[in-house]
Amino acid sequence: MKFLSPLKGKNTLENFPLLPLRELVLFPHTVIPIFITYKSGITALEDALKRDSRLFAACLKESPVPSTKETASKGGRSRKTAGLGSGGMSSHYPLGFDGETYEAGTVVRVLQHMKLPDNTFRVVLQGEYRGVIAAKAKKSGFSMVSIEPMVSSETPESDGSQLQALIRAVQRSFAQYAEYSRKISTETILSVERSESPERMGNLICNSLGIKPDRKIALLQIRDTEARMEAILEALETENEIFGIQKNISGKVKSRMEKSQREYYLYEQLREINKELGKDGVEDEFAELERIILERNPPEEVLLKARKEIKRLQKLQPFSPEAGVLRGYLEWIGDIPWSESTPDSIDLTEAERILNEDHFNMKKAKERILEFIAVRQLGIRSEENNRVKGPILCFVGPPGTGKTSLGKSVARALGRNFVRVSLGGVRDEAEIRGHRKTYVGALPGKIIQFLRKAASVNPVFLLDEIDKLSSDFRGDPASALLEVLDPEQNSTFTDHYLEVAYDLSKVLFIATANSLHTIPYPLLDRMEIIEIPGYGDMEKLAIAKQFLVPKELAENSLSGAKIQFKDDTLLEIIRHWTMESGVRSLEREIARCIRRIARYAVENGYGASGGKPLDTFKKTVRRADLEKLLGRQKYKNDVVFKEARVGVSYGLAWTETGGALLAVETSSFEGSGELIITGNLGDVMKESARIALSYLRSVQNRYDFKVEVGKTDFHVHVPEGAIPKDGPSAGITLAASLLSTFCGIAPKSAVAMTGELTLTGRILPIGGLKEKLLAAIRNGMEQVILPADNREDFEELDKELRGALEVEFVETADEAFEVLFNTTQSPE
């Protein structure tokens, strides 16, 4: 079966005036009314009326900006057109303008034309057949085009039944499209259903499709009948799918709106029914809220605020956003503990037993908690008991020393609830004070949130990593904590969300920090600082034997086995597989050993069903086994020369992971008196080196210098240059290294020192004494030179640590040099 255009057998070119149209594609077999208001279109129309009333209508490729005159003509009046004839449209089509057009278009006949008073035309056009521009020539005010008719064709292997199937599919899809669109006339729908010509059917459908002009042009210029019908079917299915999605979305939105309206209607009905029955469910809800709040026994101020908000809530619609905010606020008021408290344990002996059971040493922290319990015990039967305020403690020490777990032990010893909030990285003030309840998703701050979790007004509240607080444009949380941690103010702490005062004076606040340098002074001033120093080797050994080994055996299902770690084995792990002040790494290494032993036990048939009983498994871990269990040693001692060397002295440094030994090396060479300092040193340490040089030059008459300082350059280097180093406590060490170089005398070996040097030669006290002494012991030092002002700190250390080293206390650099160079006089 073969369908041809109306010009069947006519292949000659015909010439027509060109009618450019903007965003409008005309198809054969359709009748369209339009207005022609632009000059080129009017001229082309007048020329066509002189001929046979036919034009070639083609759509413009782009939409050029119309001239002022043409724009005024288009927008100057409101016009309506009615559809005329078959396929007539009832809308006002956009006007055309001059510009480049598509090559494909439609030859149209002017059925009616009417010249209007403003010299524009209203015309009714009927599409006759499709065509392609073969040639184009400019005329006076318009263009003439030669048109090659576009004849429908079939592929040689086309099947008539396949084409019929395509036609029916297109008709069904168009019927569905017309149902979705509701803008297609009944006449057009019937014409498509009754049409037997694919050409006519395709033209009617394409004219009715609400797609872009470029897609319509693509459908217009397809010559092959089957290909064109397939393209039309694809366009119809795409549009139907879009309509279906839109319908689905609209249905969901409508159903949600209907559900909300239905709920509101039923709620109002239920309210009226309850009134008739003599009980109001809504009133019951408000009464329940008030009852819950009353059970918490809040202060009078809070109760008045809650009742005021309940009255506001009663006047609001149940599903309004503000009602949800108020209901959430009242629920928070009812959830927070206002008067509930846990009784404090006043048994000093039991509290001391619990603290000693959980932690080794930590005398200062334990003594402070026992003092608090003693004060509570004295006032337990007096009216002054309620006036005892919770202390604000701050545990400061290196990582892994048990600060956080000590907070849990304090709560257990006191018989209080325990809550912990991590402050590391907190940079928003609202995290502490909360947001105002007017904000979407507003909540109270962490203080109130965790007090609700504690369910009592006197918990142990741990503020972990308080030195890691930061600030930005959202506020400074450290400043917000000033009120929380001030015993004189925190009885009236006000959260932005609650808007009423809350009493925090009964809370025992414990903060933890690794360093005090980053904590603002006003906040630091409000806390009682308790230092928790790092552990020595013997302390770590005791902790490993009493706590870590039993814990890891239990966690790795070997508590029933007979596994023993020798003391020298544990000390070897401490010294060569860990490098820390705490015991976290030590715990991990012990766990690695026990896991390897567990694997060995299973491989040898212990613990399995039907195998050897686990309690018969025995293993003693010796030093020789460590390399097999843990691999090669991870850490060596610091850089230390066994023999005394000129220009080399040893200082002691404190780090957050413990103490370290710093070797200071100085060399001299001919120059101009310049001091070169290397080793990744900070500004303070560089200043200490310059102070040491200035001091030695000021007292050079006391010493026998082998070099002329003004004509010699000195290079001071602190090894391990990748590690940053800073601080003033290396002043005496730098001076000793320089003096050794000046005089050419090597200092005593196995002697370490620490102390800040002034320009007058005084030695000032230092911090981190315990960690520094531990570093000296670990690296085989025999004697240590310390500032005289640190004598009291030294006396507070354990007896074992004090007896491990020979200590010399000095007040001036001269005294230190006498000890270091083993002379009663300075080097001469």
Instruction: List all residues 6 or more positions away from 18 whose beta carbon is below 8 Å from its beta carbon.
Output: 44, 55, 56, 58, 101, 136, 142, 143, 144, 145
Q: How far is CA 553 from the centre of its chain?
A: 38
**Can 173 be counted among the known catalytic residues?**
no
Angstrom distances, CA of residue 505 to CA of 247, 340, 458, 519, 595: 61, 14, 8, 22, 47
**Can 729 be counted among the known catalytic residues?**
yes
Annotated catalytic residue, options 73, 305, 772, 826: 772
Identify any residues that bridge with 16 across adjacent strands, giving them in sequence order: 145
Angstrom distances, CA of residue 76 to CA of 33, 116, 121, 123, 498: 19, 13, 14, 18, 63
The token duo for 778 is: 């670990």
Helix (H) or strand (E) holding 48: helix 39-50
The token duo for 144 is: 């003439």
**Dihedral class, residue 75 (left if φ above 0, else alpha if ψ from -120 to 50, else beta):** alpha
The token duo for 561 is: 């086995």
- Taking the alpha carbons of 812, 817, 819, 825 in that order, is the dihedral positive or negative? negative
Q: How far apart (Å, rounded) are the C-alpha atoms in residues 116 and 35?
A: 10
Q: Rounded to the nearest 5 degrees, what angle is found at the Cα of 237, between the Cα atoms of 235 and 243?
A: 105
Return the HEC string of 637-699.
Answer: CCCCCCCCCCCEEEEEEEECCEEEEEEEEEEEEECCCCEEEECCECHHHHHHHHHHHHHHHHC
The strand pair at 618-621 and 562-565 is best described as: parallel
- What DSSP assignment string belongs to 81-144? ----STT---S-PPPP-SS-B-SEEEEEEEEEEEE-TTS-EEEEEEEEEEEEEEEEEE-SSSEE
Annotated catalytic residue, options 585, 729, 737, 826: 729
Q: How far apart (Å, rounded) are the C-alpha atoms in residues 394 and 530?
A: 6
CB 332 within 8 A of CB 376: no
Q: How far apart (Å, rounded) are the C-alpha atoms in residues 764 and 401?
A: 28
First to last CA, the chain: 125
The catalytic site residues sit at 729, 772
